[in-house]
Chain A
């Protein structure tokens, strides 16, 4: 352990020494990779469907199946991207009001109201605008076109939901890039794709993040 009384780096980074630090450049690169990957698995299905229809109109059912694949696979990825902020784990309802009050103290007035309505804490950072949930976070990058989804959780699953959000929020505030490095990156893609797969209650939080990221 260092003799320094405080540190700018997230201590959890010690558990993932093999990972490159997740900075703006890393996010841009992975955003492009995800975009290319989406094109790579969508275009062949679309092309196959179109060629089948052109060669043999009676093959329309097979062509439709190919088109369906081109639609379903990106939707499944987007669902995965949205799922990181869905409520998970024990609700611990008896102690949630105490945890909610503590989390509210960490957020400003606007952020507190948004969190109570949507379950997500909005946190502007250097990499973009974050929406922090109980077991993951969504980063809306500057310009608000692209989002990155991260799975990350506290190691105590019995905490009330708001305490789990507060854990992630504090770690994010300690070291934003470190937080993104410790978290598992699970999705990058257009904001609208994730919005459609978010529970309705959470969509205003993504809209607020979009406005803040523009």
Chain B
């Protein structure tokens, strides 16, 4: 089961879950993903140790997609 997760004040919130074969669940996740982008979140796929990828569309095959807030120099 793939998950779309948002890092927020609660630690993290699971926004959607889908499987590669479940088109309806994936479409719901896509809408949720786009909504988060509009709110200013950034989509990231952790690819394993030391690697992550910035995504602008929800990848169907990903196991985990994380929505994070933008960074700024402190």
Q: Is A23 an interface residue (CB 8 A)?
A: no
- Given contacts A1-B56, A2-B56, A124-B50, is CB(A96)–CB(B11) below 8 Å? yes
Q: Is A4's beta carbon under 8 Å from chain B?
A: yes
Contact B53 A184 (CB under 8 A): no
Interface residues of A in 160-209 (CB under 8 A from B): 160, 163, 166-168, 170-171, 173-175, 179, 182-184
Partner of B54, one of A1, A154, A163, A175: A175
**Contact check: which of B12, B49, B52 meets A174 at CB < 8 Å?**
B52
**Is the beta-carbon distance between B69 and A155 smaller than 8 angstroms?**
yes
> Is B59 positioned at the interface, with any CB of A under 8 Å from its CB?
yes
Are A184 and B56 in touch, CB under 8 angstroms? no
Residues of B with C-beta under 8 A to A8: 53-54
B42: interface (CB < 8 Å): yes
How far is it, in angstroms, between the C-alpha of A92 and the C-alpha of B8 when the chains are bound?
Answer: 11
User: Can you list 9 A-B contacts (CB < 8 A)?
Assistant: A10-B54, A12-B70, A95-B11, A151-B74, A152-B71, A163-B7, A168-B71, A171-B68, A184-B74
